[in-house]
Chain A
């Protein structure tokens, strides 16, 4: 579903992502972790087609993102850490707008259950300025899910959510994965990775340090010890520093 091969992202002389390759199959949730400045956001933004990769290929559902970005983007959704909404569109109008952009026929039938699932149905006629941070996040999620994407990218998905919102977000990610979506998420919250991700990819200074299932990564860095926490594994993998 997501195939990344030899991805490189440079900003001038600075290389943010180096020779990164991995795949995410339908039903898998890949957690992208690493210290600050590891290249997580650059990787996610490149995968979502927001910024062009300097080199390498990205295939979304078999479509090359560089050569046919429109067809590739039709299959994906990107959820930024900070909900970016239009100040003057109500919740419902946001969904109308997104439906037209993605050509979602009869979108009301999809939108209403989505709003109810995310518990913002009663806010449907309110503007973002009248919503709490968590509600805005839910609206951004609803907009992303409206066209039933098969590939999803979450950048720090739990930022700003209350405990209940965090639980629902985790459940939602797992449900979408069970329904066959390929999901990549970046987060500093290691417990999220333990609970949600089937696979983990650890980045440091733009390079892949480790990639595999959570069990494989644990085995790789546990050095024979048992009961080692993911936090300890992360520290061992990254050397405990950003550099």
Chain B
């Protein structure tokens, strides 16, 4: 029977790989694969070709002298084991219902009614997880090998990650089965949590007593991060916790081994632990079917939400209070704003914005007044500038409550008595409002933080500062609109590409496609900004001598707004025409 299950797994894998290879015949996937592969090569592979011996080159920004002064693998072992302990604690504490095992709906439909024993189903589940674990181990190695101060080689890192992930996966499976068994026997979730809480409390008390009696001295003088990390590891790895951390240390030890011989030495206890976990899981006889079916349904619903425009990991929608009262009459575009605001987070509400603006208006000047050194002002303005830059550049990729979310509903949208540009305008209003609000708050914070320093510069008069600030604020909505037109254009012009990039686990080609979209957006926005920026610059240069700096900035802003608005309008109109002609069913035909 296991042969049939193995056949299902291997055949599915083979067909998946073949379909991925076959779709490379389409230029959109081939180009994506080339870009994705190039990205991997330059970012990860080039850093991998190092030696396999231990070498303690410091990470960026860390002095060499800081590293040999402490036992890095030992410290990392304590931290890794602590992380594992916390994960396992939550694994045992969180499930309120029977957790079940991770089967897909198709697997439930085909395998559960089939003459297959529970034990074989568990093995099928473990076997299925191996593919994901192997890929994850290779992927994590790309990152861990970048931190070459860890030592070890590619092989030890891949095998080390595999041991960690497989043991954890076995533990998760065993915990799920055991919790299911406990619930079947009448042990409620709260009773289980109460016992765990009691155990944690006991561990904390015993550890605290142990530390009180024999606490490691806190490092004195100017100590580096290594010294502090060593002290922290000593604090954690004491008393009862020391014993509880031993399994975790055993699991991570092969990964932290500096060479292959050390890896083999560390692998022996780790493999023993893994085998013990396997025996624990394989010998369980638990009725997990019902819970697994519920799990499969939940997972399918999550996938469906993702495909219909929801965010990764998004919870089922909940009914919310309306952002504003929508009247029956008026511009229909506002109905889209109203609708899409209902689909965002509750904190994107005018009351929250107003509150945040008030806090900034009161708080930032207070902080600046009480900080004569100006350090906090620099931090606030720097943070606000970085936040604004990220919001402007990456915001359109994250704030997707526009046509990108509604593309699956395009058939219905097209039956509305609206021109294409009206649908496009209405759909993009919500992310424009959200991004504009965020940028205005960042601008307010930066202006208030920099105010006192700007006051010391002669030509930055209060009048000029207010004028410049208002002019920047005025351009923000148009800039956001311009930024948002591009991803919406991508969704309309290349719907098949766009739909492919919305799916998870699409492979290196889909990752390459995402990269192309990001770089394409950057390129187009730079080109679109050129006329406005050059025009505004020329106006300021030519007119400030005649009409003064403030008036010149207003004139330049007006010109920039006209140019940018014209670009936005042309973009909306053109995309509206495209939307009217769009037939998603045809576009998505393979």
Contact = CB atoms under 8 A, between A and B. Distances in A.
A75 to B, nearest CB: 8
Given A80-B412, A88-B317, A106 B580 contact: no
Nearest to A86: B339
Name, among A49, A78, A80, A86, the residue most crowded by chain B CB atoms within 10 Å (CB to CB): A86
A97 B326 contact: yes
Contacts of B310: 87
B409 interface: yes
8 contacts: A50-B411, A50-B414, A69-B580, A84-B412, A87-B309, A88-B342, A105-B329, A127-B317
A74 B328 contact: no
Contact of B409 (A70, A73, A86): A86
B162 to A, nearest CB: 39
B581 interface: yes
Interface string A72-113: 111011101000101111100100110111111111000000
Contact of A84 (B305, B322, B342, B408): B408
B351 interface: no
A78 B409 CA distance: 13
A93 B317 CA distance: 14
B342 A71 contact: no
B326 A51 contact: no
A97 B335 contact: yes
Nearest to A129: B316
A9 B39 CA distance: 43
Interface residues of A, number: 39
B38 interface: no
A86 B335 CA distance: 13
A73 B328 contact: no
Interface of A: 11, 45, 48-52, 69-74, 76-78, 80, 84, 86-90, 93, 96-97, 99-107, 125-127, 129
Nearest to B422: A70
B326 A100 contact: yes
Contacts of A93: 322, 339, 342
B50 interface: no
Interface in B554-590: 580-581, 583, 586, 589
Given A80-B411, A84-B408, A106-B328, A74 B417 contact: yes
B405 to A, nearest CB: 9
B580 A52 contact: yes
Nearest to A16: B586
Interface string B392-425: 0000000000000010110110111111000000
Contact of A78 (B328, B334, B412, B583): B412
Given A87-B305, A87-B317, A129-B316, A100 B411 contact: no
B330 interface: yes
Given A73-B416, A78-B411, A78-B415, 16 more contacts: A45-B411, A48-B415, A50-B411, A70-B417, A73-B418, A78-B412, A87-B310, A87-B343, A88-B320, A97-B326, A100-B334, A101-B335, A103-B332, A104-B328, A125-B319, A129-B317
B332 A127 contact: no
Interface in B306-339: 308-310, 316-320, 322, 326-330, 332, 334-335, 338-339
B403 to A, nearest CB: 13
A84 B583 CA distance: 16
Name, among A77, A87, A102, the residue most crowded by chain B CB atoms within 10 Å (CB to CB): A87
Nearest to A106: B328
A49 B411 CA distance: 9
Nearest to B401: A88
Contacts of A127: 317-319
Given A48-B415, A93-B342, A103 B409 contact: no
Binding site secondary structure of chain B: loop
Contacts of B327: 100
A189 to B, nearest CB: 22
Taking residues whose C-beta sits less than 8 angstroms from the other chain, chain B's interface range is: 35 or more
Nearest to B408: A84
Name, among B330, B412, B586, the residue most crowded by chain A CB atoms within 10 Å (CB to CB): B412
A52 B420 CA distance: 13
A103 B334 CA distance: 12
A101 B411 contact: no
A72 B355 CA distance: 46
Contacts of B326: 96-97, 100
B409 A52 contact: no
B409 A84 contact: yes
A74 B419 CA distance: 12
Contacts of B316: 129
A88 B348 CA distance: 15
Nearest to B331: A100
A107 B328 contact: yes
B415 A76 contact: yes
A89 B320 CA distance: 8
Contact of B581 (A52, A99, A129): A52
A11 B416 CA distance: 24
A89 B342 contact: yes
Interface in B100-121: none
Contact of B328 (A11, A50, A103, A125): A103
Contacts of A51: 583, 586
Nearest to B322: A93
A52 B415 CA distance: 12
A72 B419 CA distance: 12
A141 B583 CA distance: 23
A97 B52 CA distance: 63
Contacts of B415: 48-50, 73, 76-78
A72 B444 CA distance: 47
Contact of B418 (A45, A70, A87): A70
A159 to B, nearest CB: 15
A221 B474 CA distance: 71
Name, among A89, A126, A127, the residue most crowded by chain B CB atoms within 10 Å (CB to CB): A89
A210 B432 CA distance: 52
A90 to B, nearest CB: 5
Contacts of A101: 332, 335, 416-418
Contact of A90 (B319, B406, B412, B583): B319
A89 B339 contact: yes
A142 B452 CA distance: 60
A51 B583 CA distance: 6
Name, among A49, A87, A88, A107, the residue most crowded by chain B CB atoms within 10 Å (CB to CB): A88
B332 A88 contact: no
B328 A99 contact: yes
Across the A-B interface, the 7 shortest Cβ-Cβ residue pairs: A100-B335, A74-B417, A88-B343, A73-B417, A88-B317, A51-B583, A78-B415
A64 to B, nearest CB: 14
